[in-house]
Amino acid sequence: MISPTPTKPKERDYLRFQIDDVIKDQIENLLVGAYIVGVQGLNIGTSKPLDMKTRERISSWIRKLPGFEILDEHEKSITISDTSEKQVVLPVLRRQFSTTKYMLGGLLRALETGETEETSRIVSRDDDVDRHRYFVERLCHIALHDPAYARRISITRSDCLHFSLAAKYIERVADHVCGAINEIANVEEIDPFLAKSGKALTKAYDEATHTFFSSEANRGDKRRTALTKASREAFEALISAKRMSVRLSKREASKRSYGPHEALILFHMERIASYCSDIGEVAINRIIEKRIHGPSIAE
């Protein structure tokens, strides 16, 4: 007997959590963890009246988690629920990639000009990148637990793995962009090597982005030929990013007279290049899988 998988969405219960003074300082971890794994609602309670400082921290973090809203608030409890319509993962992931590209462009301008007036605006976008990562991981967790939901948003189990990894790597890139920009403000004169490397780094990021999403654009009768071209581009992008990571690492470790701030800029740039190569590896895995298994349910 062959029975179809139930199509009715699973009902997800509210997570009820009693906090005390010991874990109040880790309330952010509780909120983010519950959000990412797909909890539909969260009830936070305490044995005594919840202080205003903790309430403000909860409210601040809720604004970083798309779809989560505080629906009910009492003296000793706060109820949080998911009020959003579920979104398709790819558009959210594309936005995360594009926001980070904007930040990387700001880093390049700062390296070329030494100007850091726009630093605060660029760094503030890091919150958006974090938010998008949480959202991607949340949707992937829900899809893994709910096959009916996975079919509705057209995502496979392997896609969940690849998208979660990519979201994490992009979030790391954004963190290192912020770290490098903050150090530039402390350098009187930028080494031309750093500005030149900034251009190469931006190119490596563009190539990693292109290869990651290339398999989504290749459809139809010429799909296999297109995937072959995409796989070749992905390997080239991976090799280029790895070479750059090694070059920056050697420069950082050389005996050249670098101050502490320039050394840190080099470190952050090397890590960005390394994460670009990681994204390239994920892209290659996606392309290989599509060649082996053919079109996914998304197609």
Range of weakest confidence among 177-186, 193-202, 255-264: 255-264
Boundaries of domain holding 77: 14-82
Whether 252 and 119 map to the same domain: the answer is: yes
What pLDDT digit, counting tens, does each position of 8-33 carry?
A: 555 556 788 887 765 667 888 888 88
Q: Give the pLDDT band of residue 256 (cuts 50, 70, 90).
A: low
- CATH, residue 145: 1.20.58.220
Which residue, 62, 82, 102, sits at the end of a domain? 82
Contacts of 162 (CB under 8 A, 6+ apart): 282, 285, 286
CA atoms within 13 A on the CB side of 169: 24
Whether 131 and 110 map to the same domain: the answer is: yes
Whether 72 and 194 map to the same domain: the answer is: no
Q: What is the pLDDT of residue 100?
A: 93
Whether 41 and 104 map to the same domain: the answer is: no
Q: What mean pLDDT value characterizes the chain?
A: 81
Whether 59 and 94 map to the same domain: the answer is: no
pLDDT of 154 > 60? The answer is yes
Rounded CA gap, 94 and 81, in Å? 26
Q: What is the pLDDT of residue 221?
A: 44
Percent over 70 (pLDDT), the chain: 82
Whether 208 and 245 map to the same domain: the answer is: yes
- CATH, residue 72: 3.30.110.140
Percent over 90 (pLDDT), the chain: 22
Tell whether 4 is covered by a domain. no
The listed range with the strongest mean pLDDT (40-54, 97-111, 166-180, 273-287) is: 166-180
Check residues 169 and 114 and name the one with the higher pLDDT.
Answer: 169
